[in-house]
Amino acid sequence: MERLQKVIAQAGITSRRKAEQLIIEGKVKVNGQVVRELGVKVTPNKDEIEVEGVPIDREEPVYYLLYKPSGVISSVSDDKGRTVVTDFLEIEQRIFPVGRLDYDTSGLILLTNDGEFANMLMHPKFKIEKVYVAKVKGIPSREALKKLQYGVMLEDGKTAPAKVKVMSIDKKKQTSIIQLTIHEGRNRQVRRMFDAIDHPVLKLKREQYSFLNLRGLNPGDARTLKPIEVKHLRELAVTKPS
């Protein structure tokens, strides 16, 4: 038996929090009866669950790692017809991205139909380390880099300490390649951090997500996560609360 909201989230319909809201709003039925309590437990594949009148099929959870090219939307559909991350995986399951990378950012993004897993990884209290490589305008001074390292003030508050490494400098072109490791996941955070030190990002790539990297993949390639990798990610989230 599992909690109703967990089963709904796992089905890839929506997040666990939204599932709870749907239950409270009386939009969920179990065996034909509206259920408004959050404590209710159900047996997946046995109890019939309907969300807003549509029965949920509990799909087998699947987990993928995609090397997102730039110029792709981190979504399952786009009203302007632009390429979305799910276009790179021709599979039956209704997968969605775990968090997002900007349209212009390339790099590692996870996709799954397991809402529970996605919510767990995206929760701010689980400090999953993400490594970005940015090509920025100009050559940041030591002081500017220290600001990134200790935290810069953005409109939504000061950033947590970050790791900063200068990979290369092009004096002629006046650009630098900087590796930045952060564990927060605010909207456009890396770009805003570099804007804050007056070195705007020209190109951005996410090279690592926790212990996962892009080794062996080209832009547009995807691979399934190994069961051990999924297990490892779950363990990280469980053992690293703040």
Sign of the CA dihedral running 22, 51, 90, 225? positive
Question: Which CB sits closer to ligand URA, 35 or 101?
Answer: 101
Looking at residue 49, its amino acid is: I
Residue 8 · residue 49 · CB < 8 Å: yes
Give the nearest distance from C-beta 193 to ligand URA in angstroms: 8
x-marked contacts with ligand URA along 64-103 as a string, rule CB under 6 A: -------------------------------------xx-
Q: By rule CB under 6 A, what count of residues binds ligand URA?
A: 8
Within residues 104-143, the interface with ligand URA by CB under 6 A covers 105
Q: Is 79 a catalytic residue?
A: no
Contact between 191 and ligand URA by CB under 6 A: the answer reads yes
**Residue 76 carries which DSSP code?**
S
Beta-bridge partner residues of 170:
175
Give the nearest distance from C-beta 173 to ligand URA in angstroms: 22
User: How many whole angstroms from its chain centre is CA 229?
Assistant: 16
From residue 82, how far is each of 25, 42, 77, 99, 216 by CA, in Å?
Answer: 34, 39, 8, 18, 26
Contact between 189 and ligand URA by CB under 6 A: the answer reads yes
Within residues 193-232, the interface with ligand URA by CB under 6 A covers 204
In the block, tokens 């047996």 appear at 43
Question: Which CB sits closer to ligand URA, 8 or 144?
Answer: 144
Cα separation, 148 vs 56, in Å, equals 45
Question: Which CB sits closer to ligand URA, 9 or 134?
Answer: 134
Contact between 3 and ligand URA by CB under 6 A: the answer reads no
> Among 241, 151, 231, 227, which residue's Cα sits nearest to residue 196?
151
Question: Which CB sits closer to ligand URA, 49 or 204?
Answer: 204
Q: Is 22 helix (H, G, I), strand (E, B) or coil?
A: helix
Residue 201 · residue 190 · CB < 8 Å: yes
Give the nearest distance from C-beta 183 to ligand URA in angstroms: 12
> Which entry of 87, 102, 198, 221 is annotated as an active-site residue?
102
Active site residues: 102
* Contact positions vs ligand URA (CB under 6 A): 101-102, 105, 188-191, 204
